[in-house]
Amino acid sequence: MEILQKIFGELITINLLMSVKEFTELLEKINNNTLTSTEIAAFAGMLQENMYKRSPGFENVSKDDVQWFQTYSFVLNKLELFYKGEIYDIKSGGDWRQAMDDVSKLKLLVDELEEKKLVNEVAWFIDGISLYNITEPEMYKKQIFEKVRASLEKIMD
């Protein structure tokens, strides 16, 4: 029994160290201005998996947190498509249903970006399509990175 407790304790420590490492890597990428939508999506998936498993170190993670990271991944993907000249490519970045569980968070964030004049000509389509122009790409990116940072810090507290 004592051996099992020791092994379980070591597994918890390893899991906690892995989660701290992933959080730290994301923060470093934000600081270096290199974070990608794919990395945020992978992080959201990892959060969701550990949240459902009730893994140690993930007690502060909620479904809401996971959905926000899905939203950040989606809007950062829009910026990546913008830089490629493909912002209106519906297959790669317009359909939110493939990327997130809750469109209301996307609407809140896009409304905020529109208020700050970082996006315009916002269009929502019944088929799950969200289109908009990014007017200030660097400020848009900075805004998304700050949102990701704040969400990471909330979870780590």
- What gap in Å lies between CA 31 and CA 46, rounded to an integer? 21
- Tell me which of 129 and 89 has the higher pLDDT: 129
- What gap in Å lies between CA 39 and CA 96, rounded to an integer? 17
Q: What are phi and psi of 121, to 5 degrees?
A: 50, 50
pLDDT confidence of residue 19: 64
- What gap in Å lies between CA 87 and CA 45, rounded to an integer? 24
- For the chain, the domains span 2-156
pLDDT confidence of residue 103: 80
